């Protein structure tokens, strides 16, 4: 049978998850993260008061979950190691229970012919490291590099694909600009320092890995194309500045080894440049990634400012653009996000044209839906909306591959319903539903559809 949308040979089909969102922080001996701390101090800020204590219990049920991954055609799976679990407190002695747990998970994945992709940091700073200043403090960078080297030494014989950070801009936005992550600071100067130091930490870990190991190391960025309302120069400028702040501030140093000149000029003009060290320039230049993970959920549409910013307000990226709600846009109403499948193609073409056509893959894409029990029929959630969502994005990803983009795979967020930060279990994303009372996993309709896609390495419309 001819497959209409055939993907390149050895394409990665799978899903992604993170330690905090699926393991359950109370399992095993483990240090506390900023999420444990914040939930203890302000539980009211989490949907229905649900914190990270138990989540989806992958810690105890990983064998069952990995067997299910195999059943639905996964050949790869991205997970993260919890720094606070592996080295409680962020520095010092290694937790042997964590070594045993992650070792067993890796072995189980390999036994099921699923390649483990390991990410080292997914928003989960050990609280002791945060109390030292988090990424504002260069000594925390050193502790992170030591943690990373520990992980490479423990698991590098079996794991050949690593990532330094997942969506490093999110802790910057959430923790230092817009108040949706701990430490809930609103201060752009500190935010920019955190962003900069994160990339220094990233480059140091890339350097350590590339010197001593033979696999690939990359970073996972949530790239959100900035579309102008119109071709008017004012709208184009707004979109360009938005792109500098939210995409290129991480993409350029990761892939090109340098920051965009116009971003540097803009920050300098407003007195917002971070503190740097002389050796940083060479460090960034010499330690670019082997592989780029791209998380894509929605576009960003912007227009020129309607009004001048309040001169007494805190400096913000939003001083330079307003968000624009395009009439007639398609929406995921549960998440308040626009669905724009072509964005995935536009990202890949940009990487091809402007970033050396770096090897890349879709490391997250997905659709969160509230109250999915409404779609339960004959014991299974009939999530046709998720199948349509994935299919729409895969068509554009296929077009990008056909046009010569180095697209290596597609991972859905996520394998099974998991805990989503402040939103907890409000929206469900998984191929498998999770009963929060019993922990029982049940495949949704999309799981079977995805198994067919993986088995055929493509699909028909």
**Cα separation, 433 vs 208, whole angstroms:** 39
Q: Are 168 and 251 in contact (CB under 8 A)?
A: no
Q: Which helix (H) or strand (E) segment is 116 a member of? A: strand 115-119
Q: Give the position of tokens 């740097």.
A: 276
Give the tens place of pLDDT for each residue, 257-298.
999 999 999 999 999 999 999 999 999 999 999 999 999 999
Q: Are 425 and 47 in contact (CB under 8 A)?
A: yes
Token pair of 6 as six digits: 């055939």
Q: Are 249 and 263 in contact (CB under 8 A)?
A: yes
29 pLDDT more than 80: no
54 pLDDT more than 90: no
3-state helix, strand, coil in the chain (%, to 5): 45, 20, 40
- CATH architecture entry for 5-459: Alpha-Beta Barrel (3.20)
State the pairing for strand pair 360-364/76-80. Answer: unpaired
**Cα separation, 405 vs 396, whole angstroms:** 12
Give the tens place of pLDDT for each residue, 434-455.
999 999 999 999 999 999 999 9
Q: Give the position of tokens 């506390």.
A: 32
Closest residue by Cα to residue 141 from 68, 194, 80: 194
Give the tens place of pLDDT for each residue, 391-448.
999 999 999 999 999 999 999 999 999 999 999 999 999 999 999 999 999 999 999 9
Give the helix ranges, DSSP H, for 412-460.
445-456
Please say if 402 is a catalytic residue: no
In this prediction, residues 304-319 reach a mean pLDDT of 95
**Cα separation, 18 vs 245, whole angstroms:** 25
| Residue 335 confidence (pLDDT) | 86
Q: Which helix (H) or strand (E) segment is 90 a member of? A: none
| Residue 213 confidence (pLDDT) | 96
Token pair of 67 as six digits: 């067997």
Residue from 4, 364, 372, 440 carrying the catalytic annotation:
364
Whether the model pTM is above 0.95: yes
Domain definitions of the chain by residue range = 5-459
| Residue 156 confidence (pLDDT) | 98
Q: DSSP state, 307?
A: S
pLDDT range class, residue 25, cuts 50, 70, 90:
confident
Please list, in sequence order, all residues whose beta carbon lies within 8 angstroms of the beta carbon of residue 33, skipping any fewer than 6 positions away. Answer: 20, 25, 52, 82, 83, 84, 124, 125, 126, 127
Give the tens place of pLDDT for each residue, 140-183.
999 999 999 999 999 999 999 999 999 999 999 999 999 999 99
**Cα separation, 141 vs 115, whole angstroms:** 28
In this prediction, residues 199-204 reach a mean pLDDT of 98
Please state, for a pLDDT cut of 90, what percent of the chain lies above it.
Answer: 97
In this prediction, residues 365-392 reach a mean pLDDT of 97
Q: Are 20 and 81 in contact (CB under 8 A)?
A: no
């Amino acid at each position: 049978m001819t497959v209409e949308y055939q993907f390149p040979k050895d394409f990665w089909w799978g899903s992604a998850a993170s330690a905090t969102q699926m393991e359950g922080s109370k399992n095993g001996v483990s240090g506390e993260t900023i999420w444990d701390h914040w939930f203890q101090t302000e539980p009211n800020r989490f949907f229905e008061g649900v914190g990270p204590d138990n989540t989806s219990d992958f810690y105890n049920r990983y064998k069952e979950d990995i067997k299910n991954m195999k059943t639905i055609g996964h050949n790869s799976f991205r997970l993260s190691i919890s720094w606070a679990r592996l080295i409680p407190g962020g520095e010092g002695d290694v937790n042997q229970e964590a070594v045993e747990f992650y070792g067993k998970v890796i072995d189980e994945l390999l036994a099921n012919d699923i390649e483990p992709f390991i990410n080292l940091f997914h928003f989960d700073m050990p609280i002791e490291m945060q109390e030292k200043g988090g990424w504002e403090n260069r000594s925390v960078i050193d502790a992170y590099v030591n943690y990373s080297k520990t992980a490479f030494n423990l698991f590098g014989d079996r794991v050949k694909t690593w990532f330094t950070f997942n969506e490093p801009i999110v802790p910057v936005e959430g923790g230092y600009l817009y108040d949706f992550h701990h430490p809930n600071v609103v201060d752009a100067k500190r935010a920019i320092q955190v962003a900069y130091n994160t990339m220094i930490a990233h480059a140091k870990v890339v350097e350590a890995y590339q010197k001593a190991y033979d696999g690939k190391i990359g970073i996972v960025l949530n790239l959100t194309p900035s579309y102008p309302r119109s071709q008017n120069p004012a709208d184009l400028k707004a979109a360009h500045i938005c792109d500098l702040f939210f995409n290129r501030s991480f993409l350029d140093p990761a892939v090109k080894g340098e920051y965009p000149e116009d971003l540097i000029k803009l920050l300098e003009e407003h007195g917002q440049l971070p503190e740097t060290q002389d050796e940083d320039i060479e460090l960034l230049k010499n330690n670019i990634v082997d592989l780029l993970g791209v998380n894509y959920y929605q576009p960003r549409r912007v227009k020129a400012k309607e009004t001048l910013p309040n001169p007494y307000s805190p400096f913000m990226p939003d001083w330079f653009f307003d968000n624009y709600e395009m009439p007639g846009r398609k929406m995921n109403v549960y998440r308040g996000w626009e669905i724009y499948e072509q964005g995935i193609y536009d990202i890949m073409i940009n990487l091809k044209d402007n970033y050396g056509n770096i090897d890349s893959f879709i490391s997250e894409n997905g659709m969160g839906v509230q109250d999915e029990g409404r779609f339960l029929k004959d014991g299974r959630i009939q999530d046709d909306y998720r199948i349509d969502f994935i299919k729409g994005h895969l068509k554009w990803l296929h077009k990008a591959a056909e046009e010569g983009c180095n697209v290596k795979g597609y991972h859905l967020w996520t394998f099974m319903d998991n805990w989503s930060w402040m939103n907890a279990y409000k929206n469900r994303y998984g191929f498998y539903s999770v009963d929060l009372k019993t922990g029982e996993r049940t495949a949704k309709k999309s799981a079977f559809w995805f198994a067919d896609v993986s088995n055929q390495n493509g699909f028909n419309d």
